[in-house]
Amino acid sequence: MKLVVANLFRFAALGLLLILLFRTEWLSFILVPLTSNNAPPVYTQNSLPSLAFGHLELVVFSIVGSAILAVLAGVFVTRKSGEDFLPLSRAIANAGQTFPPVAVLALAVPATGFGAAPTLIALFLYGLLPIFENTVSGLRQVSPSVLDAADGMGMDAIQRLLRVELPLALPLILEGLKVATVINIGTATIGSTVAAKGLGEVIIAGLISDNTAFILQGGLIVGLMAVLIYDAMGLIESAITQRIGLRPA
């Protein structure tokens, strides 16, 4: 029963997202009351699918960069040779969330100019902490007896990391990746303030023109994308952990 309800929710959310992207005019009867002074209820200054694609492009590139650095750093500080660098690495990862993305944009724009670059820098920094902390936690929770068994089988340090530690830490690493992705989907809306292509354009247009219909369109699309992508990543995580035997089928 729970599976049926979950699938119904997924199909309903996906259907609404597709309508908002490709047939927003179907919802005009809901949006018109949210406008004033005969303002248009549907955002048409730019293609919504194109803006959504640009938005996701920013998220994907930034998360890939964050994941590579955060996982490598997490592995390094859980080795004997890198233990002393844990406080520094943690402070750097925390700094990404300590500084508001808007502040990062303000600092990055003079160096990189307007467009996608400053937004990618802000999102990259914002995505580091969840992935780094989950990588460290996942690697630290591996049982010493399991590590001893790997050593007893003649594995060297790299083999033990790749065949034992990372697979056992994978569920927590993937959870951190999911959290970082959802955070960045929402945060990427600020990129439109520095001319990055994304759904923030719709929300900002609504704020400037006092058009609640535009704000609702942009907000709903971003929210639905975040929910559906988080859910899809959860399904992928379950499939991977089942395949490597960390979760019962």
Closest alpha carbon to 69 in 9, 127, 123, 112: 127
pLDDT at 247: 61
Higher pLDDT, 99 or 239: 239
To 5 degrees, how large is the angle CA 118–CA 124–CA 125? 95
Kindly tell me if the per-residue pLDDT of 32 is higher than 80.
Answer: yes
Q: What percent of the chain has pLDDT over 90?
A: 67
Neighbour-count burial of 3, counting CB atoms closer than 10 A to its CB (0-12 exposed, 13-18 middle, 19+ buried)? exposed
Kindly tell me if the per-residue pLDDT of 246 is higher than 80.
Answer: no
Delimit the domains of the chain by residue range.
47-244
Which contacts of 72-80 are long-range, i.e. CB under 8 A and separated by 24 or more positions? 73/132, 73/135, 74/131, 74/132, 74/134, 74/135, 74/136, 74/138, 74/139, 74/173, 75/135, 75/139, 75/161, 75/166, 77/136, 78/136, 78/139, 78/140, 79/157
Averaged over 207-220, what is the pLDDT? 94
Most confidently predicted of 36-45, 57-66, 136-145, 156-165? 57-66
Closest alpha carbon to 200 in 99, 97, 15, 58: 58
Give phi and psi for 105, each to the nearest 5: -60, -45
Structure tokens at 123: 């999102």
Averaged over 100-124, what is the pLDDT? 87
Q: Each residue of 61-97: pLDDT tens digit?
A: 999 999 999 999 999 999 988 899 999 999 988 887 7
Reported confidence tier of residue 157, pLDDT bands at 50, 70, 90: confident
DSSP secondary structure string for all residues of 166-209? HHHHHHHHHHHHHHHHHHHHHHGGGGGGGT--STHHHHHHHHHH
Homologous superfamily (CATH) of 47-244 is MetI-like (1.10.3720.10)
Q: Is the separation of the CB atoms in 200 and 219 below 8 Å?
A: no
Q: Residue type at 50?
A: S
Closest alpha carbon to 223 in 181, 186, 178: 186
pTM: predicted TM-score of the whole model, two decimal places: 0.91
Kindly tell me if the per-residue pLDDT of 249 is higher than 60.
Answer: no
Q: At what angle do helices 212-243 and 2-22 cross, to 10 degrees?
A: 140
Q: Residue type at 243?
A: R
Q: Is the separation of the CB atoms in 74 and 90 below 8 Å?
A: no
pLDDT at 185: 96
Element (H, E) at 81: none
